[in-house]
Amino acid sequence: MKFTPQAIPDIILIEPTLHGDDRGYFSETFRQDLFNDAIGSKINFIQDNESKSSKGVLRGLHYQVAPFSQSKLVKVIEGAVLDVVVDIRKSSPTFGHHEAIELTANNKCQLFIPRGFAHGFVVLSDTATFTYKVDSYYAPEHERGIAFNDQELKINWQLKPDILQLSNKDKNNPTLANAKDLFDW
């Protein structure tokens, strides 16, 4: 596995090593010791989640606040998505900056997103199956969101706005400037 810090260094792109022949391939998709070494700390993932969505479905930008803030390890197992993370750590030099990375079933890449980031994705293919590990349980009363179309964030979701499909909750998320419970560390 290759671990590559992104422009926001705490975001890590993980590229698998494929071992293949005419029968197919084999790849390690997660190895705790290598992962911990790459991120410089220990993460204990406790819940796996999976969603399937059609083209244009945009989920996010979501985060959870203490005591249920979450680190995530995300991956696409079918289709393609544009995965977006926004730094919401108020004291960070990259506060308000974002990363946008295409994750696909073909590239088999994963993205590590530590606590202190809002996360979302949009489906670029006809359908996509998205899976992720988290290190804290889902707690709806601690879930928050940021508007996907916040003009200050300047996120290019790569699809025309008229084909985007959002939940009612996500349509009503506040801008980053008006978001509640941002991270102070």
> Confidence class of residue 3 from pLDDT cuts 50, 70 and 90?
very high
Active-site residue identified among 62, 98, 119, 138: 62
What is d(CA 110, CA 48) in angstroms, rounded to the nearest whole number? 14
The predicted-structure confidence for 139-177, as pLDDT tens digits, reads as follows 999 999 999 999 999 999 999 999 999 999 999 999 999
38 burial level (CB within 10 Å; 0-12, 13-18, 19+)? middle
The predicted-structure confidence for 119-143, as pLDDT tens digits, reads as follows 999 999 999 999 999 999 999 999 9
> Confidence class of residue 184 from pLDDT cuts 50, 70 and 90?
confident
Active-site residue identified among 63, 98, 119, 132: 132
Annotated catalytic residue 19: no
pTM more than 0.85: yes
DSSP 54-120: ETTBEEEEEEE-TTS---EEEEEEESEEEEEEEE-BTTSTTTT-EEEEEEETTT--EEEE-TTEEEE
Is 95 a residue whose pLDDT tops 80? Answer: yes
Superfamily (CATH H level) for 2-178: Jelly Rolls (2.60.120.10)
* Whether the Cβ atoms of residue 109 and residue 15 lie closer than 8 Å to each other: yes
Annotated catalytic residue 142: no
